[in-house]
Amino acid sequence: MKTFLFTLLYLFTFNAFAQSLNFPGKSIEMLEGKELKVLPQKENQQQYGYKDFYTDEALKKIYKSKNYSTKYEALAGKVFKVVSYKPSKGDYIITLHNDETGTLYYKYNENISSLFKFEVIGGLQFPKDFFCTYNQIDKVFNYDLVKYEYTRYSPTTEGITLYLKDLIYTLKVIIKASSDHRESDMKGLKLLLKNGKEVSFPDAKIAVESSSNDYKYSTTVVVSKEQFGLLKESPMIKKVLGNKEEDIIDGALIMEFFRCLSLP
């Protein structure tokens, strides 16, 4: 191969962060004094219950244990007060209190937001530019041209990633759908915003590939400065690829990542 591009270094790492505006990542102090509501699970996930809830500070005794987790019905919807927190073996132990359950201890992983099954009541107050540290810069070496190239992009959240390279914005959007039926020859991308506006790419070509038990539909489009302005203005609420559509839960978070990227 004449040209071989190799990712040499991530200057910033994502560490599975971008799942929810309820997750403070390494800034666990933002949870101090907050109330946390245990989020409900999808019906097909309820059998697995909730992980990382204990009745002892040594994290040995699982609260209302069933198959090494806490029974779903024992925690779903309950509200806990954050009493305190402390570091423990690379994680944190958060002391929680609820009048019905009493005091429980939760093992908090600052790097994996998908494990944090809470809604923070009243939300979190994030510092300015907090989310920008989760945007990535890839350092790539081109052996033919003997130079480094840089690509800056937002974390992939709900199948949406924004790239910025050579003053050009490129947006990649993915929707996964059932493998019962493969759709082909589709085109067009629409992003519906909370403020009622729409960012549309009617000629976008849609690629299809099998992915475990479903199909993955994706497209990559060039975003104009005007379109990017709209994406920074209001959260997305829905993405539509051809005749496939999917609601976007964390559109506000995606908007925050986009706001960190701008033309020089």
Confidence class of residue 32 from pLDDT cuts 50, 70 and 90? very high
Other C-beta atoms closer than 10 Å to the C-beta of 34 total 17
What structural domains does the chain harbor? 28-120 (no CATH), 155-259 (2.60.40)
For 39, other C-beta atoms within 10 Å of its C-beta total 15
Three-state SS for 32-61 is CCCEEEECCCCHHHHHHCECCEECCCCCCC
- Give the Cα separation of 65 and 173 in Å (integer): 39
State the Cα–Cα distance between residues 6 and 142, nearest whole angstrom. 8
Q: Coil, strand or helix: which one is 259? A: helix
Q: Cα-flanking dihedrals φ and ψ of residue 229, to 5°?
A: -60, -40
In sequence order, what are the beta bridge partners of 5?
A: 142
pTM of the complete model: 0.68
* Residue 258, pLDDT above cutoff 60: yes
Out of 16-20, 185-189, 231-235, least confident range: 16-20
pLDDT top residue among 124 and 197 = 197
Q: Give the tens place of pLDDT for each residue, 61-80.
A: 999 999 999 999 999 999 99
Cα–Cα distances in Å, from 166 out to 127, 182, 263?
29, 36, 10
What are 220-244's pLDDT values in tens digits? 999 999 999 999 999 999 999 999 9
pLDDT band at residue 1 using 50, 70 and 90 as cut-offs: very low
The amino acid that residue 194 corresponds to is K
* Separation between Cα atoms, residue 219 and residue 242, nearest integer Å: 10
Best mean pLDDT range from 67-81, 135-149, 169-183: 67-81
| pLDDT of 7 | 30
**Confidence at 263, pLDDT banded by 50, 70, 90:** low
